[in-house]
Amino acid sequence: MAQRIAIVTGASRGIGRATAIRLAKDYGGVVAIARSEDLLGQTAEVIRATGAEALPLGLDLREPSAAKAAVEHTLKKFGRIDAVVNIAGAVPQVDVLEMTDEQWDDGFALKLHGARRLAVNAWESLKATSGSVIFTSGNSAQAPKSGFAAVATVNAAIVAMAKAFADRGGLDGVQVNSVLPGPVMTDRRRSYMEKYAPAHGMTVEEALEKFPAKVGITRYGTPEDIAELIAFVLSPQGGWFMGAALRMDGGEVKGV
C-alpha cells in the first residue's frame, strides 16, 4: 500500500506545527507549508525524526498561484494527497468600528481564500484517495465580539464554507469538517496579551494568569490538544464525521 500523504498549512508554529508533527505518526509523508522558511525547516526536521518524509514549502497562500504550486509540488514528490489540513491564517484583532478595508481583505485572504483554493486544487487527488479536508475556524464564530469582528466573521464564513465543501464531499467521497479552537496558548495569543495587559493596568503574566478564570475555563489549551483532535478526525475512528464543526475550547463558549 502506498504511504498516505497529508498537507498541513501554517506549519511553522503553533497549532499548525503541532499538527504537522502529530500527523507524522499516522502518515508516511507530511507537506508542511508556511511563509517562515527558517521555522518551517525546524518543523521538517522533527517530522523526519519520527520516520516520516517531510516536504517543507515556503509559500504565501494569500497569493492565488500558491495553492496550485503546493499541490503540484506534493504530487511531484509523493504522487498522491490523502489529507489537507488548513490551519494558516492570522486575522487582525481590531474593533469593528476601526477596521480598515485593507485589514478586512487581508483577514479573508489567507484563512478563508487560501484554504478554499488549496482544497479546490487538491480535490481531484482527494477524490482518488477518498481523502479528507479540515478547515480551521475558531470558537469566535459562535460568539462574536466587537474587538474580534474580523476574526469572528472569517471564522463563521469558514464554518459555512466547510459545510458547502462537505455537501460536495458526500458526492465525491471526500470527508470535510471544520475545527473551532478556543483560547490556545500560542505565540499569537501571547502577543495579544502583551498589548492587552498594559491597557488594563496589568503585567503580561498577570493577564495570562487571570484570563482563564475570567472566561470560565480551567486552563489554556495547547497546540497539541488541537493536533490530537485533528488526528482523531482524520483517523478511521473519526471517519463518520462529515460537515461537523468541532469546537474545542475548554468550555469558554457557554451557549448551545
pLDDT (tens digit per residue) in 42-74: 999 999 999 999 999 999 999 999 999 999 999
Range of the domain at 214: 185-220
Please give the grid coordinates belonging to residue 165. Answer: 465543501
Taking the C-alpha atoms of residue 28 and residue 12, their distance in angstroms, rounded to an integer, is 19
Residue 251 counted as domain residue: no
CATH value at residue 168 = 3.40.50.720
196-208 confidence digits (pLDDT tens): 789 889 998 998 9
184: amino acid identity, one letter: V
Q: Are residues 112 and 210 in the same domain?
A: no
Residue 147 counted as domain residue: yes
Burial of 200 (0-12, 13-18, 19+ CB in 10 A): exposed
pTM, full prediction: 0.95
Q: Are residues 170 and 69 in the same domain?
A: yes
